[in-house]
Amino acid sequence: MDQLPNLGREQEMLDSMGLKSIDDLFSDIPEDVRRMDPLPLRGPQSEEEIWADAQHLLGANIDLDSRPSFLSAGLARNFVPTMVPMLATRGEFLTSYTPYQPEVSQGMLQAMWEFQTMVSELVGLPVSNVSMYDASTAAAEAITTAVRVKGRKATQKGVVYVSQFVPPHRLSVIENYTQGVGIELRTLEHNSDGMVNLEAASVAAGACAVYVEQPNAFGELDEGITQMKEIIGENTALIIGVDAVSLGIVEAPGNYGADIVVGEGQPFGIGPTAGGPIYGLFACKKDYLRLMPGRIVGKTLDEDGNDAFTLTLSTREQHIRRHRATSNICSNETLIALMGAMHMALLGPEGLEKLALRVAATTEVTKQAISGIPGVELVDPNTPNFREFAVKLPGNAADAVAHMDAAGVLGGFPMGEWWDSMSSYLLIGCDERTTQSDIDALVSALTAWVEEVSA
């Protein structure tokens, strides 16, 4: 066994300890709980055989790059610069643990401090942690953080308003994280054009927090959200969920009053990778620092007075504070955040802006092309979109997706899977890699289906 350097040398090692057999090492396990028979599993394979099986099984999947794809719904079909995986998987990064010993972990610590700075700059807030698991747990723990910070002054104790258009798969995570700790989730209403109902939003003044996404689940940008902080006031935390790439052209939420910003980091650093590992962004104002979740790196000095980095504020964390910790998070997504940092650094400010413009451009071109199909209507024709937009179809969107699938086009996400009332809504996702021929293929496939159902 290539993974076990002491195979074949067990007896000499046992002899030196005065033990007779491997069984002696397990003699402390009482017989009534011992497994006596071998594990009923398949036989071992060599590396070549594993590779062949991996190619066969994963080769049976249809990857996003092999056809026109308009499926996004919260994950981006991006292009990750070649440098990123090559350098991030260097063994010194890949095979290290959480940097508890800063003297031999300056590399990862510095990279994470630089990551914190870049995220902080991106969203316009002073503090960032080293990552959450994904956008959903980042949003959920932003809410629990806000309740801890604002709970005392809030006049609506434990109440948090969550936008009506947070997708159910994210909302479900939020519900699991908040249900047991005295938090009541209420709905922040939107108008029929998809925008937050600013008049109704005033009910949230005095609550612990408001969570709203920019753009929303339909990819819609909402100018009204810039007025939210004024409406809800200083004693209610404003938590904004973002599309990280959009911030190359869309205002940083920290500049319009956000107290906490969360989002999916995945577009920077890693492919959609079947939903994970990805990483969640979490940044906040300084008032939230001592009650926020996750690892944080600080810059300090070593004994000789040289600059050095170390994990800090760990008295918030589970290994010190146990059941009074601000979160149970221990392993996070550091390596993926490192990939994100590399991608951000390669882009630079102007590269970020260009990336965002590329996504905005394909979104707009696709939107115009699709809205020209007779029988297909934009759900909210007058709202601006980034990355995604929703259309209403003359029939069931899941049927349309299946029909387009047969034509070799991944045509989007049927929104009926999220909300029953939207079974005729199709969510079309674009990205920087969408081409004119992809758009032509989508228009042609969707037109063919529309003609079939209308006939």
Partner 1 sequence: MSEIFDFNGAKGSGWSQPEPMKKDAINTVPSSLRRSTLPRWPRASEPELVRHYTWLSQRNFGIDTGFYPLGSCTMKHNPRINERIVQLPGIDRIHPLQPEHQIQGLLSIFYEMQEMLEICAGMDQVTLQPVAGAQGEFTAIRCIQEYHRQNGDIQRDKVIVPDSAHGTNPASAAMCGYEIVEIPSGDDGRLDLDALRAAVGEDTAAMMITNPSTLGIFEPDIAEAAEIVHTAGGQMYYDGANFNAILGKTDPGRMGFDAVHYNLHKTFSQPHGGGGPGSGPIGVKSHLADFLPSPIADREETEDGGATGDGYRYFWRTPPNSIGKVQQWHGNSGAVVRAWAYYRRYGRELELMSEHAVLNANYLRHQIMNPNQEHQKSIHSMPVDGAPTEVVKHEFTLSMMPLKETTGVTGKDIAKRLLDYGYMSPTLYFPMIVPECLMIEPTETESREVLDKFAEDFLTILSEDPEVIQTAPHTTDVRRVDEVLAARTLVLRKEFED
Contact positions with partner 1 (CB under 8 A) in 345-384: 345-355, 357-358, 360-365, 384
**Least distance to partner 1 from the beta carbon of 376, Å?**
20
**Least distance to partner 1 from the beta carbon of 261, Å?**
13
**Least distance to partner 1 from the beta carbon of 158, Å?**
12
Count of residues touching partner 1 (by CB under 8 A)? 204
CA separation for the pair 385, 382 (Å, rounded): 9
CA separation for the pair 420, 438 (Å, rounded): 29
Could you say whether residue 399 binds partner 1 (CB under 8 A)? no
Termini Cα distance of the chain? 64
Q: Tell me which residues in 84-103 interact with partner 1 (CB under 8 A).
A: 85, 87-103
Tell me the window of 14-22, 147-155, 193-201, 202-210 that interacts with partner 1 (CB under 8 A).
14-22
Q: Are 413 and 72 in contact (CB under 8 A)?
A: yes
Instruction: Say which residue the tokens 């690892």 belong to.
Output: 295
Residue 65 in tokens: 């790059």
Who contacts 164 (Cβ-Cβ below 8 Å, separation ≥6)? Answer: 187, 188, 189, 190
Tell me the window of 134-142, 149-157, 200-208, 443-451 that interacts with partner 1 (CB under 8 A).
134-142
Q: Which is nearer to partner 1, 34 or 454 (CB)?
A: 34
Q: Tell me which residues in 150-209 interact with partner 1 (CB under 8 A).
A: 169-170, 172-173, 175-177, 179-182
Cis geometry, peptide bond prior to residue 272 (ω within 30 degrees of 0): no
Could you say whether residue 298 binds partner 1 (CB under 8 A)? yes
Closest CA to 212 of 267, 167, 179: 167
CA separation for the pair 287, 285 (Å, rounded): 6
Q: Which is nearer to partner 1, 361 or 381 (CB)?
A: 361
Could you say whether residue 308 binds partner 1 (CB under 8 A)? yes
Q: Which of 6, 192, 421, 437 binds partner 1 (CB under 8 A)?
A: 6
Tell me the window of 73-81, 146-154, 201-209, 443-451 that interacts with partner 1 (CB under 8 A).
73-81
Could you say whether residue 244 binds partner 1 (CB under 8 A)? no
Closest CA to 208 of 145, 128, 127: 145
Could you say whether residue 304 binds partner 1 (CB under 8 A)? yes
Taking CB under 8 A as the rule, which mask of x and - marks residues 44-63 in contact with partner 1?
xx-x-xxx-xxxxxxxxxxx
CA separation for the pair 172, 217 (Å, rounded): 15
Closest CA to 340 of 80, 77, 74, 64: 80
